[in-house]
Structure formats: C-alpha cells, structure tokens
Structure 1
C-alpha cells in the first residue's frame, strides 16, 4: 500500500488541533462560560440547559448528515472549523437567548462534521504509516481543547472579563486555527474510488447494539460534563477554586488518551470501554450524593479521565464488529452519542424547579451507564472477519 503524502506526525498534529477547536470550543466552551453568563447575563440554569441541549441537537443533526451524505473528510473538517469559529465569535455579539440557541445548534453541527471528518481523515493515514496507536494523540486534542477553554474561562473569571469578551476571544482562537489548518487539510486520506466502494458497506447488527450502549454513555456522562462548573459556583465562592473544575476535567481527558495507548495494548476495545465506564459511573454519582470540593474534583477526574477513552474504544469497537468504513462507523456512533446526550441537559431543565434537579438527573444517568455496561458484558460478539 502506497503511503500518503502527509506524514503520520503531521496527520496526528492536525487532527489534534482540529479536535481541540471543534470539541474544546465548539462543543464544550459553554460549560466554563456558564458561570460567567450567570453573573453578567443573568443566565439561569434552566436556560443554560436549553442552550446545551441546542448544541447537542446540532451535534446529532451533523452526525446524521454525515451518515446520509458521507462528505469527504477534508472538506468536512475545513468547513466545520470555519463554522465553529464563526458561531463562537457571534455569541459575543448577541444578547438574545433565541440567537444564542441558534448559534449553539450550528456550532454543534460544525463540531460533528469535524469529529467525523477527523476520524475518517487521520486514522487511515496513521494506519497506512503503521502508526495506528497514534490515534490516542489525535483524540487527546479533545482534552487539550477542554483544558484550554477551562483555563481561559478561569482566567476570565479572575480578571472579571465579561462573558461577551470571553466568547469573542475564544471565537478568534477557533478562527485562527481554521485558517492555519485549511491548507494542510488539502490531502485526502482515502482515494475516491476506494471511498465509493466503502460507502456501499453497512454496519452489522452487533455494531448497532454497541451504538445503543454508546447512546447510554452519551446520556450518562453529559450531565457533569455540562453543569459541573456551574454547580461548583453555587457552593464555592472563590472563582479561582470553582473555575479549576473544568481545567482539571480537560487535563484528565488529555492525559487519559495517552494512558489508553498503553492500556489498549493489553485490553480489547470492549474491555477498555466497560472498565472505564465503571469509573465514569462513580464520577457521575459522586456529586449527587454530596456536593463539596472533594466530590466535585473526584467527578472531574473520573468523568474527564474516562470519556475520551470510551469514545476511542467505542469507535474502535464499531470498526472491529464489522470492518466498516471509518466515516460510516464514526457517524453512526456519533449520532447515537448525540441522541443520548440530548436527554441529559433536557432532563435538568425539566427538573429545574426542583432543588435537587442535578442530583436526581445524575442518579438516573449513573443507572443508565450501569445498564449499558451490563448489555456490553452480556452481549459480547466475536470479531467479524474482513472480506477479501
């Protein structure tokens, strides 16, 4: 097999930066921004839940479009990054919740395009170079982006920046990354004739069962991933303390992807997935039982330290179960994840009148994670051999 024009190191670096922008800013920047918007824009937790839900609905919509249309990976990443930059910038120039909702929806669409495109672009290049284990470096971009957005939100809170200024600066960073990566993404990972052949293949039923469990993962983890900093703000007065929750979450996510490269050598993807999910369940449940600095930090480490491991393991498991093309496998898993995570903030919003909305939603989420893990452990499937 002829090696692609771009090196494995370049592909891993480009994928890392693309995911850092799409996920750290396009998807999860609202989380560290919530305390700032609560302070100067008088945003309620209920409205924040609707904004998060809008972003997740957009993420689901983007994944479904990728399944139906199978866009070429490089253009999907390029225009997705442009969309992330523009929608984040415009958040700082708006004062209307309805427009915020529309922008967060479009940012979710753009983020899904980047995730699906990056997986379908970078992973084949790394495989052709014999560096498939470097996918951990690519996915570490998610944690790096989350940590960056969290630290930036922490600095903005300490320096008393307005939420509008903070949104604008984050959008400018995303726009710069879109410009930087535009030309390097000119390389296509898979020849178009081969891509056309792959589009005719479909995921088998075992992979769809795995996708259902992946949806449970999306529902389970998204509540702490959305509301931890806002919850911390309600119990900790010092912004330097409650603002640390999200950077800790991001740092745990970034480090976990690197650690998974070693763990993945001795564990099958499904084993890695289920073991990480037990840790995730504990992290989701901890602040529901008691809200204090130790439980909030425990939740940040457990949830942040496992969700990217489960993301990578889930995608690899879908590929293992049927040898399907990366664009289709990642698209289906991303859509399942998006459908699951929509329910999390929506549930918090619906329970918003209760003083225990977060605790009730977290207990339900933890139960969902346990149920999904049981399905994974009971319905294990052998590898489907690839056809010659």
Structure 2
C-alpha cells in the first residue's frame, strides 16, 4: 500500500475515472446498448430484461450494504481493487451462453462491481482530495460515468458495424475494459492514514437531514434507472426510429461528461440543494419528452437532458453527504445509496412488466416523472428547513 503514497493528483483522478468506466461503463452500462440485440438474437423478453436489470441493482445494493459496514480503510481499498478485474469477468460471463441464470449471475456480479466503483472508489478519491487540501468536489471524478456511457455506446456501434453478434460484443467489451484496467489499478486512491481517519471519525450528518436525503435519493434512483436501462429499447421500439437507439445512448454520455463541471459551478453559486432541485426538474422534462412524442427529436432531446441531469444529481448528492462525513465518506455514501438501490431493484422490474403488458414504455415514463416530482417536494422541504 505504501507504493501508492507518491501519486500525483492527476493520477488519482485519472485512476478513479478509469475505475468508473470499468465498474459502471463496462459492468453495468454495456447492458443498455446491447439489450435490443439480445432481445432480437437471444430471445430475451421485456420482462426478463427488466428482471436482469433488477438483479444488477440487487448486486449493487448488496455491495452498498457491505460498504455501509466497512470501517477499515484498508478493506475499502481492497474491495475496490477486487471490483476492477471482476468487472471484466462480468462481461465475459454475459457472452458465454444464452443462459438466463448465467446472465443473472453476471448482472449480480456487475452490480457488486458498480458499488465498489461508485461508493468505495469515490469515497477514497474524495477522502484523498480533502486530505490533500483540494476542493472537495467529485465533478471531475464523475466524468467517468459519462465516459463509461460513451465507451458503451461507441463500442456497441463499432461492433455492430462489424456484424458481431450479441455474445461476441460482450466479449469485445471485456477486451475494451483491459485498456482502462491498467490506469485504474496502477493509480488506485491510497489508503487514508489511520491518524487522519481517527481525527474526524466522530463527525457525520444529522439523522433528520440524512432521512430527507435518503428519501430524495430514492426518487433519484427511480428516475435514473428507467432511462439507464431502457433508453435504447424505447427509441428502437418507436416507428421509423429502428437503428437510432445507440445514438440516443451516445448522446446521454456526451451530455453527462461535461455536465458535472456545470453542476459544480451552479452549486457553488446557488447552493447544492437548489442545484439539486434544478437537476430534478430538468430530469422530469427529460422523462416526459419521449412519453409525449414518438419523434426522434423528442427522444434525442430527452436523452440529452437525462444525461446532463442524472450525473449532476449523483455527483452533488454523494459529494454533499461525503463532505459531511470526512472520516469515512464511502460509508456515508453507501448508507445513502441503499435507498437508491431499492429504487433500482424495483423500478426496472416494474417498468419491464408494464411494457410487456401494454407494448409501450409510456406508462412507466409517466410513473417515473411522478416519482421525480415527489423527490422535488422532499428537497424543497429540506431547503425550507434551512439546512444545506
């Protein structure tokens, strides 16, 4: 572990970004552009697609539960390290056979890896930034989420152009992931010194504040997962839009990558809670656009707005709770994320069943907009209480 102590700031940031591409972009997001192909070639139904997404988030929630119990910084870094190569294994398993049980195992493993990257990795990066006396924001770090989407979209588009089938594309993503494994492994955030952790171990957010944030983040999780899972499938199913789905997913990634900087600046000027309210409101619009119109413009505008807003909600919320728990940011993030995980398990399964029953995702989109509006009510209440 001592070999990591000489890392420069740019190495810690780049390593964290590469880790997110692996644990989220490959282990989780590759499923979204490959979903229509798996439905066409491997006989995956809408309901099964939704359940696989739910199993992925069950794995994510299991990882969050584990992260919420970890006090030892060495174990936080160790489990984050394990999540990096296991992300590649999840992609390999996905392409091995048309077996729904093997797919379920892959999605659960991918969820565990996602929790390692999002919670343990992000917590280690934020802790390092605070100890180094740098601005404790995660905007730059979370460009890895947008980049992960871009990698998953461009990878799927390139492999489709080569006429690779669904199984070969999953194996291709495992090979692509090797490119990101090297910097992610070499530049893992160093373990915080025991003395630095002990000095601030007693600090943390109040129970009432945390309760409101948990409720709001549940709503954010619901809004996130419907679009993250079904964006490509929604576009592909619309008349005259067949083949355009990967472009919508690419647009999500291209919008989210620079948006993190914008949301950090908005939060500095207006405060985090008002910035979060704005992000929630714009995400409601992003969900309603494809629900109200079957046109390509509405689908792409919705994808653009979704990409620009979900990243802000995640980055602002996790950084906010992490700063309030400087002794163990990853543990605090994990506790908050459990509610996000509950939404991520329930929402795609319900949306898939609704789509299977009705032949359309429109009902699921209207339900998602309602849940996001509830999240805005909760954030407004938190602002009225005057606690930032």
TM over 0.5: yes
What is the root-mean-square deviation of aligned Cα atoms in Å?
2.3
Q: How does 1:157-176 map to 2 (within 5 A)?
A: 157-176=160-179
Q: How does 1:186-335 map to 2 (within 5 A)?
A: 188-195=190-197, 203-205=205-207, 206-235=209-238, 241-319=244-322, 325-335=328-338
**Alignment correspondent of 2:109:** 106
More displaced, 210-219 or 151-160? 151-160
Structure 1 residue 126: Cα displacement: 2.0
- Tell me, in whole angstroms, the C-alpha distance in 2 between the residues paired with 1:259 and 1:26: 27
- Tell me, in whole angstroms, the C-alpha distance in 2 between the residues paired with 1:197 and 1:176: 38
SS in 1 for 2:139: helix
Structure 2 unaligned blocks of 5 or more? none
The size of the alignment, in residue pairs, is 381
**Alignment correspondent of 2:40:** 39
Please tell me whether the aligned partners of residues 220 and 368 of structure 1 are also in contact (alpha carbons under 8 angstroms).
yes
Please tell me whether the aligned partners of residues 219 and 342 of structure 1 are also in contact (alpha carbons under 8 angstroms).
no
| Partner deviation per Cα, 1:320-353 (whole Å, 9 max, x = no partner) | 5566631122111222211112222111233244
More displaced, 293-302 or 347-356? 347-356
Structure 1 residue 355: Cα displacement: 2.2
**Alignment correspondent of 1:67:** 68
SS in 1 for 2:140: helix
- Tell me, in whole angstroms, the C-alpha distance in 2 between the residues paired with 1:10 and 1:79: 19
More displaced, 143-152 or 252-261? 252-261
| Partner deviation per Cα, 1:114-169 (whole Å, 9 max, x = no partner) | 21121111112223333326621110110001111011112223332111111001
- Tell me, in whole angstroms, the C-alpha distance in 2 between the residues paired with 1:320 and 1:74: 19
**Alignment correspondent of 2:93:** 90
Structure 1 unaligned blocks of 5 or more? none
- Structure 1 residues 327 and 320 mapped into 2: Cα distance closer, same or farther (>3 Å)? closer
Please tell me whether the aligned partners of residues 158 and 240 of structure 1 are also in contact (alpha carbons under 8 angstroms).
no
- Tell me, in whole angstroms, the C-alpha distance in 1 between the residues paired with 2:55 and 2:276: 27
Please tell me whether the aligned partners of residues 46 and 356 of structure 2 are also in contact (alpha carbons under 8 angstroms).
no
More displaced, 225-234 or 351-360? 351-360
Please tell me whether the aligned partners of residues 33 and 152 of structure 2 are also in contact (alpha carbons under 8 angstroms).
yes
- Tell me, in whole angstroms, the C-alpha distance in 2 between the residues paired with 1:208 and 1:317: 14
Please tell me whether the aligned partners of residues 12 and 134 of structure 1 are also in contact (alpha carbons under 8 angstroms).
no
- Tell me, in whole angstroms, the C-alpha distance in 1 between the residues paired with 2:364 and 2:195: 47
Please tell me whether the aligned partners of residues 204 and 322 of structure 1 are also in contact (alpha carbons under 8 angstroms).
no
- Tell me, in whole angstroms, the C-alpha distance in 1 between the residues paired with 2:99 and 2:240: 28
- Tell me, in whole angstroms, the C-alpha distance in 2 between the residues paired with 1:240 and 1:155: 13
SS in 1 for 2:357: coil
Normalising by structure 1, report the TM-score: 0.91
**Alignment correspondent of 2:25:** 24
Normalising by structure 2, report the TM-score: 0.91
Q: How does 1:350-369 map to 2 (within 5 A)?
A: 350-355=353-358, 357-369=360-372
**1:132 alignment partner, one of 123, 135, 138:** 135
- Tell me, in whole angstroms, the C-alpha distance in 2 between the residues paired with 1:353 and 1:141: 33
**Alignment correspondent of 1:7:** 8
